Amino acid sequence: MAPSKLTHPKIQSLEGFCKRERAHPRPLVFTNGCFDILHAGHVHLLRRARAHGDMLVVGLNSDASITRLKGPTRPVTPLDQRAYVLAGLECVDAVIAFEEDTPLELIKAIRPDVLIKGGDWTKDRIVGGAEVASWNGEVFSLDLLPDFSTTAIVERILHLSPRLR
């Protein structure tokens, strides 16, 4: 039996979001990622990102995008589940999936006032940073909580799996 499609009002299409653009509070903050196996490091970053404005939009890589970027064993969690979990966070105001390998087209369409990535991205490498700066927006690379990563969680599960059987 196929899993049911999880829905939430915060999960939006780009077209639907842009149709209501004038109604969105400003400053609008944007961040993006895979968010495969949501962990404390993700939540910490999202909460800090939301503090930079009145609305936080999360661009979410599609399953195909993650597979291209991270390999054939990823994502662990399918798109509709990742989007649903993100939408359930109080600090997240909207979740928009994208198919491309980078969120550049999404950033250009949304035109955020603030663009934020985690500290593993230097400011000069943040996709969309130049575009956001061109319309006088701000770009930040926020420090990450140490020792939190989806890859590390997956590796720990694989290491423990013989003992869990």
Mean pLDDT of the chain: 91
Q: What is the 3-state secondary structure (H, E, C) of 18-64?
A: HHCHHHCCCCEEEEEECCCCCCHHHHHHHHHHHCCCCEEEEEEECHH
Q: How far apart are CA 25 and CA 129, in angstroms?
A: 21
Q: How far apart are CA 98 and CA 20, in angstroms?
A: 18
**Number of domains within the chain:** 1
Q: What is the pLDDT of residue 95?
A: 98
Distance from CA of residue 164 to its chain's centroid? 31
3 inside domain: no
CATH for 80:
3.40.50.620
The pLDDT tens digits of the residues spanning 115-152 come to 999 988 888 999 999 999 999 999 999 987 777 777 77
Backbone angles phi, psi at 116, to 5 degrees: -130, 140
149 inside domain: yes
Range of the domain at 145: 11-164
Q: How far apart are CA 97 and CA 12, in angstroms?
A: 8
Q: What is the pLDDT of residue 4?
A: 55
6 inside domain: no
Backbone angles phi, psi at 131, to 5 degrees: -65, -45
**DSSP sequence for 53-95:** SSEEEEEEE-HHHHHHHH-TT--SS-HHHHHHHHHTSTT--EE
Is 126 within 8 Å of 49 (Cβ atoms)? Answer: no
2 inside domain: no
Of the candidates 101, 134, 117, the residue with the CA atom closest to the CA atom of residue 30: 117
77 inside domain: yes
114 inside domain: yes
Q: What is the pLDDT of residue 30?
A: 98
154 inside domain: yes
Query: How is residue 152 annotated by DSSP?
Result: H
The pLDDT tens digits of the residues spanning 38-84 come to 999 999 999 999 999 999 999 999 999 999 999 998 999 999 999 99
Query: What is the band of 5 on the pLDDT scale with cuts at 50, 70, 90?
Result: confident
Q: How far apart are CA 163 and CA 111, in angstroms?
A: 49
Query: What is the band of 25 on the pLDDT scale with cuts at 50, 70, 90?
Result: confident
Q: Would the pTM of this model clear 0.85, i.e. be above it?
A: yes
95 inside domain: yes
